[in-house]
């Protein structure tokens, strides 16, 4: 039986969803489209902590790929968990660029209205609020600050926002700007009713001249103003610098008087922030910006229309879609003449062209970017152009740009983005330069500041990274092997004959860390012997955020090769079954403590399968390579219905910039990109009776499963445009041609369909066999 606490939260969350859905219906200004934005709930995933993640999200009020996000802040300034659903107080409304609490924020500042006494400290100024009065949507947020009896509303543009504050009667009404800890500068311009300045706070990955510049304007004359830093508070002093600066402007307000605040930012200069201000917020009312933001989001969400889905499924799906369109973040701006420019965190200069940030390659290459190739091919090319600009300006491809180089996670997965785009005929980028850049990662040892590949010399010479010479050695070997496959794939399609043989061999380096005596990927010493003692449930050491059970399957580009190593289909399937069925036990290993992924694996209660971490996302689909696709259908439906929900704890781990959301969207539509760079998607089973996808090329693909239900989740037959197919995959070209995919569903598995070897999706081993 659910606890009273769970029932209370569910009730309040239902009230909150009702508040959002009954918000003044803005869909009437967007004729011809369904009001799907009402299902996207930014609070899903916000009940997270350092110890346990149910998404590690915050309610980002933003436009798709917006340069800024805006969020209520329930934490103290230094806490990276900006908003927690269990919190009872709001301490500010934050301009944030934080992609994840594990990465931290940069260029952030907070705005907070108050009445009575002026409180500068974030804990002292915090006010209680109620979820029952909270409205959270992607395009609009509202809350009541009970301590001050102030209603706060905010709505976003790409590089700015509008706030509307409804004050009580007070002779001492304030709006405070907190530039947060870090070097900052603030200037109050009372005659213009403005505040301008910058903040340099960051979490790394920037040169010394990095700053987020801001222009803030009020629609009411200032009664007085105060500036402060870490050392002093100065009334009527209009300029201040320091390591933690702020300003507060004072008004006299009547009951229910509204004060509007407009704000825009830039990473280039105050002057550019003013240009962004003039272009995005100066001439528009709060309602105009709100309606426009609603239209933008609703237009995007209408590109996939579901039928036969429940309200809860709609909420999970469209919330996932919203999350997938938040990142990567636009870091480019338009100057006074309309020329696209960007500040480069790679060399500290201003350059022409695209730049994007907050791209967790290790997370995004698996689902997010394959989704973009289908829905947003032009944006895919733009993002690649941004990565190539980073390469030009810094000399290396980034691994986790936030906003610049951050040596976080493993692999050199820009190669995946490049190869996947190229073979899908997305070529609005310099693919010769892209090929040069991905090869550099594979052959040039990086300097200390650059990402590149750790242990590259050993990897190239002996074919694997020895342990304990390199931490996470098995995981890195496997990721490099996949990246080398991507280089091979692009070399093959570009007719780079001099590279094809080399990278085909390197793509098979995963075999060098496979121990046939245990049938696991295992740490290996420099002399070739295996790491002992060995426990497949022990975390860390040669594995990244996981254990041998998780990483043994990290051969997306060659499942057939892995099947052969394990002794054939029967042994492979038995091993997969064990993954899902053995006890969810673990040893903390070199982590020396329980990390949140371990706890999430136990709560998942699917054996050693840990859906909250990316390396296993493709694993349920591997049954389809071994002639048992019905087990894929069973596992995928179980994960969709048991691990995701439409509540604040709606994700089974870190959402990770669209990664968990991408898994849900692909899997609920009935196919999944197991191997980006293969040009194929592996069939699962759709969750809905019908989905209509407006593809990025203007065509439509309709996915129908009329007999779909909670019992009928097995696939009896599949037809593409009326032609029955037995194979377990869909090609990208078939998908982009549009038309109809029909799934005949049943409550019993069809153990005859998709069982022949030729029905299996792409594997490098099979390609090599055909070529020979």
C-alpha 705/C-alpha 375 separation (Å) is 22
| Sign of the four-CA dihedral 323, 328, 330, 331 | positive
pLDDT for residue 121 is more than 80: yes
For range 413-437, the mean pLDDT: 98
pLDDT tens sequence across 706-723: 999 999 999 999 999 999
pLDDT tens sequence across 497-524: 999 999 999 999 999 999 999 999 999 9
For range 317-344, the mean pLDDT: 98
Strand partners, 163: 154, 261
Report helix angle 629-643 to 569-581, nearest 10. Answer: 20
pLDDT at 7: 40
Query: Is pTM beyond 0.85 here?
Result: yes
pLDDT level of residue 771 (50, 70, 90 thresholds): confident
Determine which helix (DSSP H) or strand (DSSP E) holds 241, and give its type and residue range.
Answer: strand 239-242
Domains and CATH numbers, the chain: 4-301 (2.70.98.10), 304-771 (1.20.1610.10)
Residue 536 C-beta-side C-alpha neighbours within 13 Å: 22
pLDDT at 559: 98
pLDDT level of residue 30 (50, 70, 90 thresholds): low
Beta strand residue intervals within 584-722, DSSP E:
671-672, 680-683, 690-694, 700-704, 714-720
pLDDT at 31: 59
pLDDT at 151: 98
For range 119-137, the mean pLDDT: 96
pLDDT at 231: 86
pLDDT tens sequence across 670-690: 999 999 999 999 999 999 999
For range 336-361, the mean pLDDT: 98
pLDDT at 13: 53
Quick count: other Cβ atoms within 10 Å of Cβ 224?
13
pLDDT for residue 46 is more than 70: yes
3-state helix, strand, coil in the chain (%, to 5): 35, 20, 45
pLDDT level of residue 1 (50, 70, 90 thresholds): very low
pLDDT level of residue 233 (50, 70, 90 thresholds): confident
Residue count of the chain: 772
pLDDT at 27: 42
pLDDT level of residue 303 (50, 70, 90 thresholds): very high
Long-range contacts of 663-667 (CB under 8 A, 24+ apart): 663/366, 663/367, 663/611, 663/617, 664/316, 664/317, 664/320, 664/640, 665/304, 665/317, 665/320, 665/321, 665/324, 665/367, 665/371, 666/367, 666/370, 666/371, 667/636, 667/639, 667/640
| Cα of 165 vs its chain's centroid, Å | 31
For range 81-104, the mean pLDDT: 97
Q: Which residues contact 540 (CB under 8 A, 6 or more apart)?
A: 588, 589, 590, 591
pLDDT at 235: 86
Quick count: other Cβ atoms within 10 Å of Cβ 448?
5
pLDDT tens sequence across 568-624: 999 999 999 999 999 999 999 999 999 999 999 999 999 999 999 999 999 999 999
pLDDT for residue 110 is more than 60: yes
pLDDT for residue 146 is more than 70: yes
Beta strands 700-704 and 739-746 are: parallel
pLDDT at 291: 98
- List, as one string, the DSSP characters of 464-518: S--TTTSTTHHHHHHHHHHHHHHHHHHHHHTT-HHHHHHHHHHTTGGGGGEETTT
For range 639-664, the mean pLDDT: 96
Quick count: other Cβ atoms within 10 Å of Cβ 127?
22
| DSSP, res 530 | B
pLDDT for residue 551 is more than 70: yes
pLDDT level of residue 15 (50, 70, 90 thresholds): very low
Q: Kindly report which listed range (177-186, 231-240, 709-718) carries the lowest average pLDDT score.
A: 231-240
Virtual CA dihedral for 616, 621, 622, 626, nearest 10 degrees?
Answer: 170
pLDDT level of residue 361 (50, 70, 90 thresholds): very high
């Amino acid at each position: 039986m659910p606890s009273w606490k769970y029932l209370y939260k569910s009730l309040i969350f239902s009230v909150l969803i009702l508040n959002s859905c009954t918000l003044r219906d803005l869909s009437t200004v967007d004729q011809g489209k369904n009001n799907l934005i009402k299902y996207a709930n930014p609070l899903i995933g916000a009940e997270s902590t350092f110890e346990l993640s149910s998404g590690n999200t915050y309610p980002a009020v933003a436009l798709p790929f917006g340069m800024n996000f805006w969020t209520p802040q329930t934490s103290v300034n230094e806490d990276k968990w900006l908003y927690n659903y269990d919190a009872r107080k709001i301490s500010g409304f934050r301009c944030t660029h934080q992609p994840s609490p594990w990465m931290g924020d940069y260029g952030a500042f907070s705005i907070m209205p108050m009445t009575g006494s002026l409180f500068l400290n974030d804990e002292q100024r915090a006010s209680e609020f109620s979820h029952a009065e909270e409205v959270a949507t992607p395009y609009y947020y509202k809350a009541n600050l009970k301590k001050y009896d102030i209603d706060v509303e905010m709505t976003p543009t790409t590089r700015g926002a509008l706030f509307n504050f409804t004050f009580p009667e007070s002779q001492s009404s304030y709006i405070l700007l907190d530039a947060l800890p870090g070097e900052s500068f603030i200037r109050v311009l009372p005659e213009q009713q403005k505040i301008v300045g910058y903040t340099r706070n960051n979490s790394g990955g920037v040169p010394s001249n990095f700053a987020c510049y801001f222009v803030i304007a009020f629609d009411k004359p200032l009664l007085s103003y105060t500036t402060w830093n870490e050392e002093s508070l100065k009334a009527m002093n209009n300029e201040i610098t320091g390591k933690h600066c702020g300003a507060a402007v004072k008004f006299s307000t009547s009951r229910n008087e509204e004060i509007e605040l407009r704000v825009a930012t830039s990473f280039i200069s105050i002057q550019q922030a003013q240009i962004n201000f003039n272009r995005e917020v100066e001439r528009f009312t709060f309602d105009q910006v709100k309606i426009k933001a609603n239209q933008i989001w609703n237009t995007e969400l209408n590109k996939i229309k579901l039928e036969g889905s429940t309200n809860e499924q709609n909420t999970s799906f469209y919330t996932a879609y919203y999350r997938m369109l938040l990142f990567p973040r636009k870091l480019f701006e338009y100057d006074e003449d309309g020329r696209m420019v960007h500040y480069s965190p790679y060399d500290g200069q201003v350059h022409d062209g695209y730049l994007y940030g907050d791209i967790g390659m290790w997370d995004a290459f698996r689902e997010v970017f394959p989704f973009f190739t289908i829905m947003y091919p032009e944006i895919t090319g733009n993002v690649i152009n941004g990565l190539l600009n980073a390469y030009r300006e810094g000399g290396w491809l980034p691994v986790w740009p936030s906003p610049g180089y951050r040596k976080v996670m493993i692999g050199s997965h820009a190669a995946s983005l490049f190869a996947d785009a190229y073979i899908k005929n997305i070529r609005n980028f310099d693919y010769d330069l892209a090929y040069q850049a991905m090869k550099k990662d594979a052959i040039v040892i990086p300097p200390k500041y650059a990402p590149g590949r750790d242990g590259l010399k050993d990897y190239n010479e002996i074919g694997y990274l020895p342990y304990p010479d390199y931490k996470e050695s098995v995981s890195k070997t496997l990721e490099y092997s996949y990246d080398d496959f991507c280089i091979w794939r692009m070399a093959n399609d570009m007719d780079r004959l001099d590279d094809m043989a080399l990278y085909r061999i390197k793509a098979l380096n995963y075999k060098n860390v496979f121990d046939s005596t245990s049938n696991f990927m295992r740490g290996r010493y420099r002399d070739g012997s295996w790491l002992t003692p060995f426990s497949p449930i022990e975390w860390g050491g040669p594995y990244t955020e996981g254990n041998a059970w998780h990483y043994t399957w990290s051969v997306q580009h060659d499942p057939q090769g892995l099947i052969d190593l394990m002794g054939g289909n029967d042994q492979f399937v038995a091993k997969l079954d064990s993954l899902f069925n053995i006890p969810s036990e673990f040893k903390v290993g070199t982590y020396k403590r329980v990390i949140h992924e371990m706890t999430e694996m136990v709560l998942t209660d699917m054996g050693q399968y840990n859906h909250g971490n990316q390396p296993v996302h493709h694993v349920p689909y591997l049954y389809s390579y071994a002639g048992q696709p019905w087990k894929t259908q069973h596992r995928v439906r179980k994960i969709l219905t048991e691990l995701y929900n439409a509540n604040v704890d709606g994700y089974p781990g870190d959402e990770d910039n669209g990664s968990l959301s991408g898994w849900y969207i692909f899997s609920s539509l009935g196919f999944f990109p197991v191997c980006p760079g293969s040009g194929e998607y592996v069939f699962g089973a759709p969750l809905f009776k019908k989905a209509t996808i407006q593809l990025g090329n203007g065509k439509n693909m309709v996915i129908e499963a009329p007999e779909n239900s909670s019992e009928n989740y097995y696939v009896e037959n599949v037809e593409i445009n009326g032609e029955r197919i037995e194979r377990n995959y869909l090609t990208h070209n078939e998908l982009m041609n549009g038309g109809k995919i029909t799934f005949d569903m049943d409550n019993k598995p069809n153990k005859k369909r998709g069982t022949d070897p030729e029905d299996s999706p792409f594997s490098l081993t099979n390609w090599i066999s055909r070529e020979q």
